[in-house]
């Protein structure tokens, strides 16, 4: 076990200069070296422990915590002797004449029998002393992630204390543990959410509260003459139509300005967007509606021409833009027609990451070779998702283009909503 690698280097350092090491630091490094063995102080039998601990009997006050180290040889385990803790010495509980006796027998007669007998107790006491210290150190628990008890302690406060609740989405559990102070609070606020987004993604982020949007009313909540209309008053709780205007249950997350690579990663299908969705679901569940507005840096906005791949602005010198030259344009996400007049970030894109959860999907009819229904025209297909026909892209065959995903795009009145005009 000491033939090569970091273990051999550590053994040589401990044997040559043991006074340079602290007791806890030395045992922690040795515990990492013996990664296949049980943690020090947890083995049920001495034969299951790769190390033996003992105290060197001496009458002087200890100048250092460690006295010496002997690497493993053959069937003999490694041995570490200490000076700061034990039965012998001026600070030990035994009378001094017993320390003198053990020291004399070892020094003048080469007989360490009495000292080795006392080491039977020293070994257990020293290992338990180290284990008591290690169990209170979160950093020591991370040396073996599979045995990290602090992840269970802290995870129990935020809903990931048991193994079935861990690693359930795109957001790593280490991120949740890092922000446990915010996730464990019963009060949710915009500052806490923005702090988590900025802290994890390392991107500028802010929250716009009270964003106006339309709320669809369930069938049973709609006002009707006759049935179900008893007790309602005009001007108080009567609503005309299938939806109502609301500013209480939606907010908008502003992210940016971003580089081209960061912007691409926040688009649907990117890793960052999946992690962002998982983070907001854990923090807010599904109580509030939200969307995200992305801002692309002005010097990284690409120029698009038909038949060519993404073209870079002449004045662009950004490394991320140059590295992403030649990437195909994505309609509605990474395309801007013409040259931008003002050197300001592009803030045109608003995404609804939860649209796939809430958007209704028509049932799939059974397949029949005799009856094949024609595809709906672009205007009808766009109307099904609330997208104006004027902005629904078309291919040469008259069918909506595949690159256009209406489940992620927002209607024009949702990107810049305005309340209904008063009657």
Structure tokens at 124: 């257990």
**CA-wise closest residue to 296 among 239, 253, 328, 334:** 334
Euclidean distance between CA atoms 363 and 281, whole angstroms: 27
Q: 245 pairs with which residues across the strands?
A: 214
DSSP H or E stretch at residue 124: helix 113-134
Q: Give yes or no for a contact between 115 and 57, defined as CB atoms under 8 angstroms apart.
A: yes
**CA-wise closest residue to 61 among 103, 91, 22:** 91
Quick check: helix, strand or coil at residue 54? strand
Q: Give yes or no for a contact between 274 and 170, defined as CB atoms under 8 angstroms apart.
A: yes
Euclidean distance between CA atoms 227 and 230, whole angstroms: 7
pLDDT for 309 equals 55
Euclidean distance between CA atoms 182 and 234, whole angstroms: 43
Q: 251 pairs with which residues across the strands?
A: 290
- The distance from CA 257 to its chain's CA centroid, rounded to whole angstroms, is 22
Residue with structure tokens 């040259």? 339
Task: Give Cβ neighbours of residue 330 (< 8 Å, ≥ 6 apart).
Answer: 267, 403
- Put simply, whether the predicted model's pTM sits higher than 0.75 gets the answer no
pLDDT for 405 equals 43
**Residue 268 gets which letter from DSSP?**
T
State the maximum Cα–Cα separation within the chain, in Å, rounded to a whole number. Answer: 110
Structure tokens at 358: 């809430």
Task: Give Cβ neighbours of residue 217 (< 8 Å, ≥ 6 apart).
Answer: 239, 241, 242, 243, 244
Instruction: For residue 148, count other CB atoms closer than 10 A to its CB.
Output: 17
pLDDT for 312 equals 47
pLDDT for 356 equals 60
pLDDT for 293 equals 95
As to burial, measured by CB atoms within 10 angstroms (0-12 exposed, 13-18 middle, 19+ buried), residue 274 is: middle
Output the tens digit of pLDDT for each of the chain's 423 residues. Answer: 555 556 678 888 888 888 899 999 999 999 988 888 889 988 888 888 889 999 999 888 878 889 889 888 878 888 999 988 889 988 889 999 999 999 998 888 888 899 999 999 999 999 999 999 999 898 898 888 878 888 888 999 999 888 888 888 899 999 999 999 999 998 899 999 999 999 999 999 999 999 999 988 888 888 877 765 566 777 777 888 889 899 999 999 999 899 999 999 999 988 999 999 999 999 998 889 999 999 999 888 887 776 655 554 544 444 444 434 556 778 888 888 877 777 889 898 999 998 765 444 455 444 444 444 444 554 444 444 344 333 334 333 333 333 334 334 444 444 455 555 554
Say if residue 315 is preceded by a cis peptide, omega within 30 of 0. no
pLDDT for 387 equals 40
Residue with structure tokens 């005799």? 370
Euclidean distance between CA atoms 374 and 202, whole angstroms: 48
* Whole-Å CA distances, 89 to 79, 233, 409: 20, 91, 77
Euclidean distance between CA atoms 200 and 115, whole angstroms: 55
Q: Torsion over CA of 141, 145, 151 and 155, rounded to 10 degrees? A: 180
pLDDT for 267 equals 92
Q: Give yes or no for a contact between 235 and 324, defined as CB atoms under 8 angstroms apart.
A: no
CA angle 222/226/228 to nearest 5° reads 45
Q: Give yes or no for a contact between 193 and 280, defined as CB atoms under 8 angstroms apart.
A: yes
Task: Give Cβ neighbours of residue 93 (< 8 Å, ≥ 6 apart).
Answer: 87
């Amino acid at each position: 076990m000491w033939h090569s690698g970091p273990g051999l280097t550590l053994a040589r350092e401990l044997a040559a200069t043991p006074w340079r090491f602290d007791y806890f630091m030395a045992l922690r490094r040795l515990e990492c070296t013996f990664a296949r063995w049980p943690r020090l102080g947890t083995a049920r039998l001495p034969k299951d422990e790769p190390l033996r601990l003992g105290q060197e009997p001496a009458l002087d006050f200890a100048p250092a915590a460690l006295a010496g180290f002997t690497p493993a040889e053959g069937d003999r385990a490694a041995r570490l002797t200490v000076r700061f803790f034990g039965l012998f010495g001026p600070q030990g509980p035994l009378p001094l004449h017993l320390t003198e006796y053990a020291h004399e027998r070892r020094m003048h007669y080469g007989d360490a029998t009495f000292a080795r007998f006392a080491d039977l107790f020293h070994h257990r006491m020293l290992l338990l002393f180290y284990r008591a210290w290690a169990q209170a150190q979160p950093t020591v628990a991370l040396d073996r992630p599979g045995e990290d008890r602090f992840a269970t302690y802290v995870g129990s406060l935020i809903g990931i204390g048991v193994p079935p609740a861990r690693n359930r989405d795109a957001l790593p559990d280490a991120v949740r543990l890092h922000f446990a102070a915010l996730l464990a609070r019963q009060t949710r606020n915009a500052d806490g959410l923005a702090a988590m987004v900025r802290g994890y993604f390392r991107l500028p982020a802010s929250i716009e509260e009270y964003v106006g949007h339309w709320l669809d009313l369930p069938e049973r909540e709609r006002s009707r003459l006759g049935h179900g209309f008893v007790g309602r008053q005009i001007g108080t709780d009567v609503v005309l139509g299938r939806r109502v205007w609301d500013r209480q249950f939606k907010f908008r997350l502003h992210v940016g300005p971003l580089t081209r690579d960061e912007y691409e990663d926040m688009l649907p299908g990117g890793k960052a967007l999946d992690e962002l969705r998982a983070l907001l679901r854990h923090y807010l569940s599904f109580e509030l509606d939200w969307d995200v507005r992305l801002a692309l840096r002005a010097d990284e906005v690409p120029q698009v021409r038909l038949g060519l791949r993404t073209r870079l602005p002449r004045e662009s010198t950004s490394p991320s833009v140059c590295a992403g030259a030649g990437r195909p344009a994505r309609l509605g996400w990474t395309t801007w027609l013409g040259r931008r007049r003002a050197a300001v970030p592009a803030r045109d894109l608003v995404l609804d990451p939860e649209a796939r959860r809430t958007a209704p999907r028509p049932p799939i009819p059974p397949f029949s070779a005799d009856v094949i229904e024609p595809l709906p025209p672009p205007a009808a297909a766009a109307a099904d998702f609330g997208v104006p026909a004027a902005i629904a892209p078309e291919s040469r065959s008259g069918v909506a283009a595949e690159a256009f995903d209406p489940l992620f795009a927002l209607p024009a009145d949702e990107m810049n909503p305005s309340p209904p005009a008063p009657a």
